[in-house]
């Protein structure tokens, strides 16, 4: 049974992103989880160490230069190979608990059983295409009552300079939760949390007060 009071307290009193998820995962206590967008594996290593109750941790990342991803982290092939090796080295201590799925989310998701995850963390490419694919592909993998969290809920779509694709985690994650008729919490440190309830009602709880205007027009003018 999830201690929702402890979860809510953790979501509203965190010092930074890591402190937020320290508190949230302590309340959720996931037995199985997935991370989309692993990079060097720091996030995975932290929670594999801190959360002995996690028995299965899926690490999903292509670790490859992609021809259709216009973001600053789309580095060259040699750099990605080095990053991949770092991610493996960082999590080698938990080799029996991790599951490394190298590939895009649509390639990796079929390798995860439906309704098997207690928690999924989305930190992928953050473009409109990326957040749409990640949330839709991972939704059925999460158990009823489970959670999807994520990073880079930027109040501005121009997270980077305008030579790059805009970041559209906000507002797409909100629209996704509305389509599924489930609650979403907008959190400090550009984080979000979706609760996969029974689909009774959509609620958008902005715990920051920073996301009032959800239109795209203000960003494009």
pLDDT of residue 64: 84
pLDDT of residue 199: 72
Please give the distance of CA 65 from its chain centroid, rounded to a whole number.
20
* Structure token digits, residue 159: 């997270």
CA separation for the pair 194, 2 (Å, rounded): 14
Tally of domains in the chain: 1
pLDDT of residue 161: 66
Residues 106 and 137 sit within 8 Å (Cβ to Cβ): yes
- What are the mean pLDDT values of the chain's consecutive 10-residue runs (221 residues total)? 86 93 96 96 98 98 76 70 96 98 96 98 92 97 97 83 81 96 96 90 94 82 69
pLDDT of residue 164: 67
pLDDT of residue 113: 98
Say what the pTM is.
Answer: 0.94
pLDDT of residue 159: 67
The range of the structural domain enclosing residue 23 comes to 4-220
- The CATH number of the domain holding residue 149 is 3.40.50.150
């Amino acid at each position: 049974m999830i201690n929702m009071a402890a979860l809510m307290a953790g979501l509203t009193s965190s010092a930074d992103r890591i402190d937020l998820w320290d508190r949230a995962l302590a309340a959720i206590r996931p037995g199985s989880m997935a991370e989309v967008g692993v990079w060097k594996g720091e996030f995975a290593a932290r929670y594999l160490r801190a959360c002995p109750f996690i028995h299965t941790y899926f690490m999903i990342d292509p670790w490859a230069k992609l021809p259709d991803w216009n973001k600053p982290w789309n580095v060259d092939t040699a750099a990605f190979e080095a990053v991949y090796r770092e991610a493996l080295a960082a999590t080698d201590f938990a080799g029996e608990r991790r599951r490394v799925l190298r590939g895009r989310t649509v390639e990796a998701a079929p390798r995860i059983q439906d309704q098997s995850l207690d928690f999924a963390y989305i930190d992928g490419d953050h473009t409109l295409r990326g957040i749409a694919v990640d949330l839709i592909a991972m939704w059925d993998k999460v158990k009823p009552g489970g959670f999807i969290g994520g990073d880079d809920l930027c109040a501005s779509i121009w997270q980077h300079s305008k030579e790059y694709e805009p970041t559209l985690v906000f507002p797409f994650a909100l629209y996704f939760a509305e389509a599924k008729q489930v609650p979403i919490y907008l959190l400090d440190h550009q984080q979000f949390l979706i609760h996969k309830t029974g689909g009774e009602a959509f609620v958008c709880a902005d715990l920051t007060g920073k996301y009032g205007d959800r239109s795209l027009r203000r960003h494009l003018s």
